[in-house]
Amino acid sequence: MKMLIVGAGATGGFFGGLLAAAGRDVTFLVRDKRAAQLARDGLVIRSPHGDVQTPVKTVVARDLNRTFDTALVTVKAFGLDGAIADFAPAVGPDTTIVPILNGIKHIDTLVQRFGAARVVGGVCRVASTLDEEGRIHQLAGFQELLYGELDGAPSQRIEALHAFMSGARFDAKISRDIVQDLLGFARRGDTTDRQIVDLRDVIRQALKISELQTRSQGIVVNTTLPENALILEAQPNQLSQALCNILQNSAEAILEKRRDDPRARGEISVALRSTGDLYELLIGDTGVGIKPEVQDKVFNPLFTTKASNANSGLGLTMAFKIIAEHAGRLELSSQPGVGTTAKIAFHRPDKSPESPTF
């Protein structure tokens, strides 16, 4: 296996350096300054498990003219768009892309650019930093890299990847539920503990994040929120992310409908109310709708009703998991050609914590 490692910083340099030291065929895609640094000093890792200094192969974007079996993407999330343009020439029909970035949004970005068949999931645990001389310092003893198919199924390419990763002095593991691992990693990256929040504020945050997409696409969002606060114990950023995923799904359903009917009405309605023992949130759209025969599959990882590969199918899966972890319930009702409504329910905090029913 020939692997391209996109970036040679604190994360990519750490795992890639250990792979190179173990004799694996890895090449680092780097900038000119980092390439000169690595050519002069090799890749240097200072670790409580023992130091490493090894020569490595590098390439800069302008000289990248061949494909690789695997691309390990280790850049910061804010640099992903630029990195995609740089490593795209290395992606062939059979290339597997393994991203190990913070959060989960990068999965959809990579799927949109390269197609769902090329992207798998990856999560790492390492505390490392890069000093001014380009040396990588491991700050704690843990060093773990997980990877797996997004649908959890076994595959020959994951087995081949595991054989390549194993025996390189870090903990390499196949995950059978990489979606849950990604979600757990995103939670660990959220420094906000559970707190008492006003559910209206969480909704407003999600609407603000989604506003750029909906406004630019001419989609009208109608919001109905109660005058009084609806108090809930929650991780606000995680819950807001779940609502953003639902809103994005609604917007994409409207755009899909407009491909057949450019004059189709584009509206999303968001309504929150307190009724009995429950807080109920309804997010409805005038999109293309979901066929009855697939409605029971919409929360499955990788399942998507989209006609193209523009979406990984993880958005609703993540939303379902986050809401469930807040002792809530998410259901969809849909009519093809008319639209879809997401129904979310939470128990009021002074009521039973069991999963609510509609």
How is 243-294 classified by DSSP, letter by letter? HHHHHHHHHHHHHHHHHH-TT---EEEEEEEEETTEEEEEEEE-S----GGG
CB atoms within 10 A of CB 167: 13
Confidence of residue 105 (pLDDT cuts 50, 70, 90): confident
What's the pLDDT tens digit per position in 20-79?
Answer: 999 999 999 999 999 999 999 999 999 989 999 999 999 999 999 999 999 999 998 888
Global confidence as pTM: 0.64
Q: What is the pLDDT of residue 189?
A: 45
Is residue 80 pLDDT above 80, yes or no?
yes
Is residue 304 pLDDT above 80, yes or no?
no
- Domain 2-189: which CATH class? alpha beta
Q: 199 versus 217: which is more confidently predicted?
A: 199
Within 8 A by CB and 6+ apart from 228, the residues are none
Strand 68-73 to strand 2-6: parallel, antiparallel, or no bridges (unpaired)?
parallel
Taking a C-beta distance cutoff of 8 angstroms, is the pair 332, 303 a contact? no
Q: Minimum mean pLDDT among 197-206, 243-252, 348-357: which range?
A: 348-357
CATH topology of domain 195-347: Heat Shock Protein 90 (3.30.565)
Is residue 318 pLDDT above 90, yes or no?
no
CB atoms within 10 A of CB 166: 13
Residue 221, φ and ψ in degrees, nearest 5: -115, 120
Q: Minimum mean pLDDT among 71-80, 100-109, 273-282: which range?
A: 100-109
> What are 344's strand-pairing partners?
281, 330
Residue 82, φ and ψ in degrees, nearest 5: -65, -35
Rounded to an integer, what distance in angstroms lies between the CA atom of residue 135 and that of residue 37?
A: 10
Per-chain mean pLDDT for the chain:
89
Taking a C-beta distance cutoff of 8 angstroms, is the pair 249, 339 a contact? no
Q: Return the H-helix or E-strand segment holding 122.
A: strand 121-130
Taking a C-beta distance cutoff of 8 angstroms, is the pair 355, 329 a contact? yes
Q: Minimum mean pLDDT among 217-231, 257-271, 285-299: which range?
A: 285-299
The residues of the chain that CATH labels 3.40.50.720 are 2-189
| Percent above pLDDT 70 for the chain | 90
The residues of the chain that CATH labels 3.30.565.10 are 195-347
Report, as an integer, the average pLDDT of 330-336: 93
Q: DSSP code of 193?
A: -
What's the pLDDT tens digit per position in 258-267?
Answer: 998 998 989 9
Q: What is the pLDDT of residue 210?
A: 84
Strands of 267-275's sheet in order across: 220-224, 267-275, 278-285, 339-347, 328-335
Rounded to an integer, what distance in angstroms lies between the CA atom of residue 128 and that of residue 47?
A: 9
> What are 71's strand-pairing partners?
4, 97
Rounded to an integer, what distance in angstroms lies between the CA atom of residue 54 and that of residue 357?
A: 58
Rounded to an integer, what distance in angstroms lies between the CA atom of residue 208 and that of residue 356?
A: 28
Q: 124 versus 311: which is more confidently predicted?
A: 124
Q: What is the pLDDT of residue 232?
A: 93
To the nearest 10°, the Cα dihedral for 290, 296, 297, 298? 50
Q: 63 versus 350: which is more confidently predicted?
A: 63
Within 8 A by CB and 6+ apart from 186, the residues are 102, 103, 104, 238, 241
Per the listing, tokens 């200072």 go with 46
Q: Return the H-helix or E-strand segment holding 82.
A: helix 80-87
Cα Rg of the chain (Å, integer) = 22
Per the listing, tokens 């690595």 go with 38
Helices (H) and strands (E) in the chain, counts: 9, 17
Q: At what angle do helices 199-216 and 236-260 cross, to 10 degrees?
A: 30
